[in-house]
């Protein structure tokens, strides 16, 4: 690597560290085929940022008033020529760009070279459709040449009156912090001896999670994370092992982490597998075994459903810098 290239790379790494120190873990460094210590450092920083970001997402927190929220993090409105007509303030902040340097400019100018290619291919499809809705992984580039990977939700609509086209691109960030101790209502249907059916709303008792309950559930989560390659015991046995009961484990886990115990196990297995596919040369059979999948086809199918590509294609795209 040339001295100029090395200096520029170190500036990017310094900027990445500053962002991480400020609590921003959604930035990434663009990788290359260069095999040296600087590139190795960039890869390690990307892995660290991804791990920290994911741990925050899955950590969950206790709040008596909060709920699961889906917040629009980035939003762009494009015209039929792919020119940005509107960008929200958060997008400008994340990309470290002035509003005037985004609006009235081609949307592709905001992307890395690899993502430009993906976008241009999808754009051809968008132009042909009257209405089209899809999801696409795109890597945005900040003014400091840091990469911001995001799964974008893209909706294209063509006017029936004048044929004009508008494309809405959004990135949604999910914040999990569900309500605790809330009463749950349900309707019970009661047939009487005469065959008539009456409905009555009943209120289920509140389930209050104490600090000790939350500690036990988090211990269960840590147990899952540290044993992803092992089969999960049935919930009754797991609950007894943690010193709680099955109902409180199921209820508390859903409240803390927004999903069931089994779904959490699968998504964490896939998250670890994704890191190994992207950053190691291990074969897929070994990776599948290390994260608890019984067979490569099962692993490949689950991986494709989660990330949109098979492990083989995902690794190719990661090697070429497209992911």
Total domain count, the chain: 3
158 falls within a domain: yes
The answer to whether residues 191 and 237 belong to one domain is yes
pLDDT at 66: 45
Determine contact, residues 225/268, Cβ cutoff 8 Å. Answer: yes
319 falls within a domain: no
The answer to whether residues 37 and 118 belong to one domain is no
The answer to whether residues 8 and 88 belong to one domain is no
The answer to whether residues 190 and 157 belong to one domain is no
List the CATH number of the domain containing 45: 1.10.8
Query: Residue 8's domain spans which residues?
Result: 1-59
pLDDT at 162: 83
144-169 average pLDDT score: 86
- Among candidate residues 146, 175, 204, the one where a domain is terminated: 175
List the CATH number of the domain containing 224: 1.10.10
CA distance 120 to 219: 47
CA distance 302 to 267: 9
- Among candidate residues 130, 154, 175, the one where a domain is terminated: 175
The answer to whether residues 165 and 199 belong to one domain is no
301 falls within a domain: no
The answer to whether residues 160 and 76 belong to one domain is yes
Instruction: Give residue-wise pLDDT tens across range 223-258.
Output: 888 788 888 888 988 888 888 899 999 988 988 888
279 falls within a domain: no
List the CATH number of the domain containing 94: 3.30.450.20
145-168 average pLDDT score: 87
Instruction: Give residue-wise pLDDT tens across range 250-302.
Output: 988 988 888 899 999 999 999 989 988 988 889 999 999 999 998 999 999 99
CA distance 89 to 98: 9
3-state helix, strand and coil shares in percent for the chain, rounded to the nearest 5: 50, 20, 30
Task: Return the higher-pLDDT residue of 210 and 312.
Answer: 312
Radius of gyration of the chain (CA): 24
Cβ neighbors of 273 (< 8 A, separation 6 or more) are 287, 288, 291, 293, 299, 303, 311
pLDDT at 177: 47
323 falls within a domain: no
- Among candidate residues 148, 175, 202, the one where a domain is terminated: 175
């Amino acid at each position: 690597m040339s001295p100029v290239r090395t200096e520029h790379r170190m500036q990017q790494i310094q900027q990445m560290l500053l962002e991480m120190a400020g609590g921003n873990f959604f930035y990434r460094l663009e990788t290359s085929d260069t095999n040296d210590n600087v590139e190795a450092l960039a890869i390690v920083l990307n892995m660290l940022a991804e791990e920290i970001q994911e741990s925050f997402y899955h950590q969950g927190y206790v709040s008596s008033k909060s709920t699961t929220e889906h917040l629009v993090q980035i939003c762009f409105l494009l015209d039929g020529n792919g020119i940005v007509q509107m960008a929200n303030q958060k997008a400008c902040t994340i990309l470290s760009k002035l509003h005037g340097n985004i609006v009235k400019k081609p949307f592709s100018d905001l992307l890395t070279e690899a993502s430009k290619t993906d976008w241009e291919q999808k754009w051809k499809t968008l132009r042909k459709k009257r209405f089209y809705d899809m999801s696409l992984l795109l890597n945005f580039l900040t003014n400091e040449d840091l990469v911001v990977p995001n799964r974008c939700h893209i909706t294209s609509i063509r006017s029936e009156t004048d044929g004009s086209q508008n494309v809405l691109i959004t990135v949604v960030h999910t914040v999990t912090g569900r309500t605790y101790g809330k009463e749950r209502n349900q309707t019970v249907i009661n047939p009487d001896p005469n065959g008539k059916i009456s409905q009555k709303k009943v209120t289920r008792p509140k389930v209050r999670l104490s600090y000790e309950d939350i500690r036990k559930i988090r211990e269960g989560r840590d147990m899952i994370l540290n044993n992803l390659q092992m089969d999960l015991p049935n919930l009754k046995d797991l609950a007894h092992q943690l010193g709680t009961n099955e109902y409180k484990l199921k209820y508390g886990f859903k409240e803390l982490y927004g999903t069931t115990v089994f779904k959490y196990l699968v998504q964490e297995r896939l998250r670890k597998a994704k890191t190994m596919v992207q950053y190691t040369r291990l074969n897929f059979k070994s990776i599948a075994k290390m994260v608890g999948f019984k067979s490569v086809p099962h692993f490949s199918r689950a991986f494709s459903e989660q990330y949109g590509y098979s492990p083989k294609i995902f690794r190719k795209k990661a090697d070429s810098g497209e992911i």
